[in-house]
């Protein structure tokens, strides 16, 4: 049995190696996505002329009207608000045509003067400063292939989970007193022993954390598989529909600012992180960021009826069902944001490990292959001598 597990671990690892190195290195960078993006593109995160103490923020519906006026072929999907109240707001645009493409899909707007201070296309492929971090994100999650890429990436992530668990089982000491040897790296024992010790020891120490990272990524990339499985074990609260969803034509009486105010009134200690409008459902969805939130972009979702502004539902993943909690913590676990800065540093470190595993794993495989070839040649030589 162990013989076949070794082969399965070896060849699945070799098969996944390039994908894992790519996913790991891009994930390490994305752990600090906003920090790197702000360093590369300060104009998207800091106003060139800071607002004065007497300046007041424009209502969100004024900003929305400005964007819809300047980009008539686009539909405003959502606003994202950073933790810095004086920073530009990020607005995401969608094409008004089904499956249409936009030359610009993200706009940054000054919340005080309602002037556009930056724009970019997050689907652009390139390493230019304004494209780099969105490009790395699409490569990391979608393999640049949108939904089919997410399915492929999620499936490979599950295979990685299985590979890790097999490796963990193979490296697990048979006896309690074997842990000292299993977690040590023997010095001066040659390059092969060094590669083997690194591969085994780092795998034992970081294996469970890597399993969590790979599994959470797969869950987020395969929602059509994950949600039915989770809902079979625990209740998953569905998003509500507003009364405007049943009207013909749609009646959206509540504007962006009113929806935002209604959501904030339901949770005064939280700050807004994002607001999106879903015209088909007749609702606004507001993400709120609690002081002790498990993710930077806010984990609490408040649904506002677009017809009259009342709160349809507020979903806090840490206060919902077991299924809601499970699905709600996936992003925070995957990015490390659930533990704040230490968690991000840990995720960035974990992202470097697939490269180490690839180097050490290939070195071990090549050495064993060489040894097997020499042993086979020796047996053939002895057999020929015996004849």
The domain that holds 273 is classified in CATH as 3.10.450
The verdict on 293 and 361 lying in the same domain is no
Q: Which of 326, 360, 377 is the C-terminal boundary of a domain?
A: 326
Contacts 24+ apart (CB under 8 A), 278-282: 279/250, 279/252, 279/306, 280/245, 281/239, 281/240, 281/241, 281/242, 281/245, 282/241, 282/242, 282/243, 282/244, 282/245, 282/246, 282/247, 282/250, 282/251, 282/252, 282/306, 282/307
Tokens standing for residue 306: 């677009």
CA–CA separation, 103 vs 124, rounded Å?
9
The verdict on 20 and 159 lying in the same domain is yes
Q: What letter does residue 254 receive in the DSSP assignment?
A: S
Say how many domains are in the chain. 3
Q: Which of 112, 138, 164 is the C-terminal boundary of a domain?
A: 138
Tokens standing for residue 230: 């989770």
The verdict on 64 and 195 lying in the same domain is no
Query: Which has more confidence, 55 or 179?
Result: 179
Q: What are phi and psi of 308, to 5 degrees?
A: -135, -5
The verdict on 309 and 376 lying in the same domain is no
Residue pair 228/221 in contact by the 8 Å Cβ criterion: no
Where are the extended beta strands (E) located within the chain? 74-80, 89-95, 106-109, 116-120, 271-278, 283-289, 300-305, 311-315
Q: What's the pLDDT at 70?
A: 95
Which residues constitute the domain of residue 293?
243-326
Q: What's the pLDDT at 387?
A: 63
Q: How far is CA 154 from CA 143, 150, 166, 225, in A?
A: 11, 6, 19, 10
Q: What's the pLDDT at 213?
A: 98
The verdict on 342 and 300 lying in the same domain is no
Residue 52 has pLDDT above 70, yes or no: no
Q: Which of 118, 138, 158 is the C-terminal boundary of a domain?
A: 138
Tokens standing for residue 130: 């304004």
pTM of the model: 0.90
Query: Which has more confidence, 293 or 100?
Result: 293
The verdict on 66 and 154 lying in the same domain is no
The verdict on 15 and 46 lying in the same domain is no
Tokens standing for residue 378: 């020796």
The verdict on 70 and 36 lying in the same domain is no
Residue pair 300/288 in contact by the 8 Å Cβ criterion: yes
């Amino acid at each position: 049995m162990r013989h076949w597990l070794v082969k399965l671990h070896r060849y699945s690892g070799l098969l996944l190696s390039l994908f894992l190195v790519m996913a790991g290195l891009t994930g390490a960078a994305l752990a600090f996505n906003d920090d790197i993006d702000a360093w590369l593109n300060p104009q998207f995160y800091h106003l060139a002329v800071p607002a004065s103490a007497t300046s007041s923020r424009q209502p969100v519906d004024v900003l929305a009207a400005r964007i819809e006026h300047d980009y008539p072929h686009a539909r405003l999907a959502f606003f994202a608000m950073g933790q810095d109240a004086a920073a530009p707001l990020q607005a995401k645009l969608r094409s008004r045509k089904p499956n249409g493409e936009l030359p610009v899909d993200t706009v940054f707007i000054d919340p005080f003067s309602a002037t556009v201070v930056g724009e970019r296309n997050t689907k652009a492929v390139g390493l230019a400063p304004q494209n780099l971090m969105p490009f790395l994100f699409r490569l990391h999650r979608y393999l640049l292939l949108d939904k089919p890429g997410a399915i492929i990436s999620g499936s490979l992530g599950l295979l990685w989970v299985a590979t890790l668990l097999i490796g963990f089982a193979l490296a697990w000491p048979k006896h309690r007193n074997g842990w000292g040897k299993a977690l040590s790296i023997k010095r001066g024992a040659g390059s092969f022993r060094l590669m083997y010790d690194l591969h085994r020891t780092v795998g034992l120490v970081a294996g469970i954390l890597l399993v969590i990272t790979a599994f959470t990524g797969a869950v987020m990339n395969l929602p059509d598989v994950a949600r039915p499985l989770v809902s079979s074990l625990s209740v998953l609260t569905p998003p509500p529909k507003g009364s405007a969803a049943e009207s013909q034509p749609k009646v959206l009486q509540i504007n962006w600012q009113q929806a935002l105010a209604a959501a904030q009134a339901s949770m005064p200690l939280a700050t807004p992180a994002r607001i999106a409008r879903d015209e088909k459902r007749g609702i606004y969805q507001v993400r709120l960021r609690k002081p002790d939130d498990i993710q930077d972009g806010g984990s609490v979702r408040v649904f506002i009826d677009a017809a009259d502004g009342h709160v349809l539902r507020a979903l806090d993943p840490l206060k919902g069902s077991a299924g809601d909690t499970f699905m709600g913590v996936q992003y925070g676990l995957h990015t490390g944001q659930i533990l704040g800065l230490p968690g991000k540093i840990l995720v960035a470190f974990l992202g470097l490990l697939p490269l180490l595993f690839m180097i050490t794993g290939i070195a071990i495989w090549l050495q064993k292959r060489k040894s097997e070839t020499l042993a086979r040649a020796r047996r053939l030589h002895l057999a020929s001598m015996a004849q």
